[in-house]
Amino acid sequence: MTVLDSKVPEGPIKDKWTNHKNKINVVNPANKRLIDVIVVGTGLAGGSAAASLAEMGYKVKSFCFQDSPRRAHSIAAQGGINAAKNYQNDGDSVYRLFYDTVKGGDYRGREANVYRLAEVSANIIDQCVAQGVPFAREYGGLLDNRSFGGVLVSRTFYARGQTGQQLLLGAYAAMNRQIGKGKIQMYNRHEMMDLVIVDGKARGIIARNLVTGEIERHSAHAVVIASGGYGNVFFLSTNAMGSNVSAAWKIHKKGAFFANPCYTQIHPTCIPRSGDYQSKLTLMSESLRNDGRIWVPKKMEDVEAIRSGKLKPTQIKEEDRDYYLERRYPAFGNLVPRDVASRAAKERCDAGFGVNETGEAVYLDFASAIQRYGKEKALVDGVKNPSKEQIIEFGEQVVEAKYGNLFQMYEKIVAQNPYKTPMMIYPAVHYTMGGVWVDYNLMTTIPGCYAAGEANFSDHGANRLGASALMQGLADGYFVLPYTIGDFLANDIRTGAIPTDSSEFEEAEKAVRERLDFFINNKGTKSVDHFHKRLGKVMWDKVGMSRNEQGLKEAIEEIRQIREEFWKEVTVPGGTNELNPELEKAGRVADFLELGELFAKDALDRNESCGGHFREESVELDGEQKGEAKRDDENFAYVAAWEWSGDPSTSNLHKEQLEFNDIELKQRSYK
Amino acid sequence: MKLTLKVWRQKDSKAKGQIESYQLDDVSSHMSFLEMMDVLNEKLISEGKEPVAFDHDCREGICGMCSMYINGQPHGPDSGTTTCQLHMRSFKDGDTIYIEPWRSAAFPVVKDLVVDRSSFERIQQAGGFISVNTSGNTQDANAIPVPKADADKAFDAATCIGCGACVAACKNASAMLFVSAKVSQFALLPQGKIEAKDRVQNMVAQMDKEGFGACTNTGACEAECPKGISLENIARLNREYIAASLTSDEH
Amino acid sequence: MSWIKNTFSSSIGKKLLMSITGIFLIVFLVVHLTGNLLLLKGDEGVAFNAYAHFMKHNPLIAASEVILFAGFLLHMIDGIMLWVSNRKARPQKYAVPNKSKTRNWVSKLMGPFGMVILVFLILHLYQFFRFKFFVEPPSHIEIDGEKVADLASIVYAQFKDLTWVLFYVVSMGVVGFHLYHGFASAFQTLGLSHSKYNKLINGVGIAYSVIVPLAFALIPILIKVMCICGPGGCTAGH
């Protein structure tokens, strides 16, 4: 256990970050010019880190596999970004944001990190506005806020349904400024293939130029991994097609511990799967649950009639509908947190009440909202005794003003008009709270190797609140890492450039080449996607929303089998010295196949239900909370950090005990 | 449904490409266009052939990576959509679909349907930013109120996803809509006005250097833009450029 | 003054030049039209000849003729330069021609229409200047005691020929289409675009592109149909 030192500073929680910044080493500006830093990934965390480090004077090399940093998947975040600004004067504060985040994470995050996140959140908004991010504003010209899932204040800043895009373009612009100045050397369409460790420190990476296939050596005094989450281990998720675990997995295999891999967020409101060819799932913003009511039919014959097309959902009578969230959780109703809503949908569909051909969909119905808003608007507009049609027309106008773009997006994909017929939704993998273990400085267990954003595990515990991912990515990149990395680099001012002709680089490059050649020469019988889909199915069925010991053990076994078959039977067309998307995918899926097993192993080890991790063995057995998730603070209030030892089956578990000094541990109740 | 696909195949940037024909027999109308391409690629791999390389990532219309010129239109026949949002229900059984890469001197083909859009990157690097360093001491976000109308217009311009459909659609392969979107976003916000003159002149100079054509105000870009970026932005770019040329101290 | 060179050598600058010269030519067309309408006065061309005489002897007009000529030349050369660089911007063409919606179908044909207008202009100017440089005018009149060419009669005679009438009418059609897009486009290029005024600009543009070429086209038609002749008779010049 001695290996895991979280390096949380001493002192009261509100002074920790300030004191820490005052005490850590700083590199003087002249020396920064002599120091190289590699940043892998250009999303909110990587992009903001690269820009900030370059502004400070470091020589930065930045890598992304897409054709531009602007395409990183942070771009797809819709809802907003939290910040404790208290502009709405509703009693928000750093402490309240801190409290909500720790509680939302089901008390499995590290207090000190979360407090720091809340502390710097206000700076993020200031910084983004200065960069020209066009946040939504009120008529008086000041910034607008909205409220978001499960909190009591309005602290979410947003830019229509494209907040992630606008924030990322802000960071991208900051990067561009530094690229133009030559302070950042940008490597687009480059994939990190391995980490190079020299004398125990992270000193560079091996990268592949995805256009030419060239294998390149890049050295640096520190390496930052900001490569996002690993939701694509499920094959189907709301992640981008290229999102992958490989950068994080490579450093894991070189010594960085991987924490809480089983903590996955499954988002309740996504567009359901339509067939086996499906390549990804699309998220519909959580905000829809403010006005939509979720239901399935009560009677099985209605379900069958709907599936066969004999009945339309609008023909099901009110008394024959099961508004199961309102039934089970009268206090929060349709606004229960994401994990609870997702599990409830799965429960109904598993019981056979799913309303589409695949049996995996529930309705999200706006008819009552349209009625309610229609009557309100008629009253406001002075229409006396409005007709039914008028009410519907008015109601649809109001709903369109609130959710128009989302309704349009739904119609584009499903080809159904959600104003007239209820939407169909189903949960989908969305975000991974687990990731590379880092200390308070965001350094991994490899000296000089850092992890930021979704790639690390640090802030969201077992469940992430809405609008907190953007906050964490930018906090890490703009305000945390640029300071903490200096503490390590201060020792490197006399090191000079790291040579790339050392045996360490040589060996790493050789291993990379061997693996690539293996894929090309294997000439198996099945495509990469074949294995990825099979892995995804096992993960979803047995390591998905609800997990039990038997299923997890089976999953571990099945994943191992798929992995063995993959290495025997995979086929990759084309060559290594060209743009070869299949070759890229092969490497990523190989890593997912290892991660998947560790994921299941971690889920098996954590015999409690917390946040996004639900173990069927750990539920409340009686009382008001019967059947709900049961956390076990006595035995599981720790971070599970796994150390690689050659195979996922033999990975060693290290525990970082979580201490809660400023927040009292309570059960989350939404009844 | 059954489809005939005529796809541009090109080994690499130096090779001479040609259109090749493929048959797909079992395409579902619920598929997205890129899922149909996935099916084609699975088929090609199983036949021991090289799959078609194409750019794609988020598959929800926001990353701007996908870029196919389908039957004479960037991103295909539907308006306001990216290629990844296009669904096969927009086509009929028996259709022949031509799929080509973006064509522009400034977007050379890398392979098959993949083009190199780094010219867009260089334009952004020439001035697509506000010169402010990251700092915890920036003034409060509400210190400068911004009229809602301006903020909304800036946002509309900022929704550009940098896909390049405007260039692909333009008869002159002009990048004016792309450049105007970025220039407009910053020109409309008080934070961006400070270096507005330098920005517009540098970005236009870089745009010209990259070999994009000029604007004939045909409006094809606006019609094909998946995010509906308006031609008004081009007028604003022109205005900004003229004003900067007449009044700036440099250039 | 390198900034001027920099500005006008940029793509926007070149378009700016197209727009400025275009608007100048648009204005010129009105002046030209008012003069030409004198041909329809029914006074055997007296007013028109007087107008032509005045134009010839006023030094201010002579100077503006140079400017006008320069305007045409700039508009053409700049247009050709743009056409060349625009073609270079897409060296490899699409297999399927572009089907994207455009504001109007003319916008994609400004170059070709411009070339047609150039051909028209060459013939038109030849018609006018041949009597100045190459050919003895068929008839003369006296204005202020000076013997001058009877231009009105030349015009009247010319438009007795149906081919010439048709040529002018068709050319005016092309001018109309060129203006149809060119008018509003010039304002857009100048950055004069605002949702409040765009409708007005477009409306005026459409009206202008219909009325002015139509009025021009009416002149040969009416001369032909109504058999308008000058003092030199209806066969002068033939």
Angle at A343 between CA A651 and CA A412, to 5 degrees: 105
- Judge whether B223 and B169 are in contact, CB under 8 Å: yes
Q: How many whole angstroms separate alpha carbon B87 and alpha carbon B76?
A: 10
Nearest to B212 among C89, C184, C189 (CB): C89
- DSSP-derived letter for residue B142 is T
- DSSP-derived letter for residue A144 is P
The strand order across the sheet containing A184-187 reads A184-187, A59-63, A36-40, A222-225, A449-451
Residues of A (183-242) whose Cβ lies below 8 Å from B: 186, 188, 211, 238, 240-242
From the list A164, A671, A65, the residue with the least C-alpha distance to A431 is: A164
Is the Cβ pair C89, B208 closer than 8 Å? Answer: no
Tokens of A162: 């494209």
- Judge whether A109 and A437 are in contact, CB under 8 Å: no
Residues of B (59-118) whose Cβ lies below 8 Å from C: 69, 71-74, 98, 100, 103-106
Q: Shortest Cα distance from C87 to chain B (angstroms)?
A: 7
In chain B the beta strands, taken as DSSP E runs, fall at 3-9, 18-24, 69-70, 73-74, 96-100, 109-111, 114-115
Q: How many whole angstroms separate alpha carbon B228 and alpha carbon B231?
A: 9
Query: Phi, psi at residue A657, to the nearest 5°?
Result: -70, 135
> In the prediction, which pLDDT does C144 show?
82
Packed helices B118-125 and B196-209: angle between N→C axes, nearest 10 degrees: 150
Q: How many whole angstroms separate alpha carbon A105 and alpha carbon A95?
A: 15
In B104-251 the beta strands, taken as DSSP E runs, fall at 109-111, 114-115
Q: Catalytic one among A338, A534, A563, A668?
A: A338
Instruction: State which residue of chain B sits closest to C6, comparing Cα positions.
Output: B251
B182-226 pLDDT tens trace? 999 999 999 999 999 999 999 999 999 999 999 999 999 999 999
Tell me the pTM.
Answer: 0.95
- Judge whether A302 and A427 are in contact, CB under 8 Å: no
Percent of chain A exceeding pLDDT 70 equals 99
A95-143 pLDDT tens trace? 999 999 999 899 999 999 999 999 999 999 999 999 999 999 999 999 9
Q: How confident is the model at residue C238 (pLDDT cuts 50, 70, 90)?
A: very low
Is the Cβ pair B238, C191 closer than 8 Å? Answer: yes
- Judge whether A87 and A143 are in contact, CB under 8 Å: yes
- Judge whether A220 and A583 are in contact, CB under 8 Å: no
Q: How confident is the model at residue C236 (pLDDT cuts 50, 70, 90)?
A: very low
- Judge whether B178 and B122 are in contact, CB under 8 Å: no
Q: How many whole angstroms separate alpha carbon A105 and alpha carbon A96?
A: 14
Distance of CA A612 to the CA centre of its chain: 12
Percent of chain A exceeding pLDDT 90 equals 89
C62-95 pLDDT tens trace? 888 899 999 999 999 999 999 999 999 999 999 9
Q: How many Cβ atoms are within 10 Å of A106's Cβ, its own excluded?
A: 26
C87-101 pLDDT tens trace? 999 999 999 999 999
Q: How many whole angstroms separate alpha carbon A70 and alpha carbon C166?
A: 57
CA A201 vs CA A128, A486, B244, C150: distances in Å: 34, 15, 51, 97
**ipTM, 2 decimals?**
0.98
Packed helices C59-88 and C110-133: angle between N→C axes, nearest 10 degrees: 150
CATH of domain C2-91+102-226: 1.20.1300.10
Give the residue carrying structure tokens 């996004």.
A612
Q: Which residues of B touch A48 (CB under 8 A)?
A: 134
Q: Which residues of B touch C90 (CB under 8 A)?
A: 103-105, 172-173, 213
Hey, is the C-beta of B4 within 8 angstroms of any chain A C-beta? no
- Pairing mode of beta strands C146-149, A201-209: unpaired
Q: Which CATH class is domain B117-131+143-247?
A: mainly alpha
> 3-state SS of chain B: helix, strand, coil percent to 5?
40, 15, 50
Cβ burial of A301 (10 Å; 0-12, 13-18, 19+) is exposed
Task: Based on the residue annotation, tell me whether A338 is a catalytic residue of this protein.
Answer: yes
- Residue spans of the domains in chain B: they are 3-110, 117-131+143-247
Query: What domains, with CATH codes, occur in chain A?
Result: 271-429 (no CATH), 503-644 (1.20.58.100)
Q: How many CB pairs under 8 A join B and C?
A: 143
Hey, is the C-beta of B50 within 8 angstroms of any chain A C-beta? yes
Contacts of residue B137, Cβ cutoff 8 Å, sequence gap at least 6: none
Q: Which CATH class is domain B3-110?
A: alpha beta
- Pairing mode of beta strands B18-24, B69-70: unpaired
Q: How many Cβ atoms are within 10 Å of A258's Cβ, its own excluded?
A: 31
- Judge whether A348 and A322 are in contact, CB under 8 Å: yes
From the list A86, C93, C46, the residue with the least C-alpha distance to B140 is: A86
A223-280 pLDDT tens trace? 999 999 999 999 999 999 999 999 999 999 999 999 999 999 999 999 999 888 999 9
- Judge whether B188 and C105 are in contact, CB under 8 Å: no
- Judge whether B15 and B120 are in contact, CB under 8 Å: no
Hey, is the C-beta of A176 within 8 angstroms of any chain B C-beta? yes
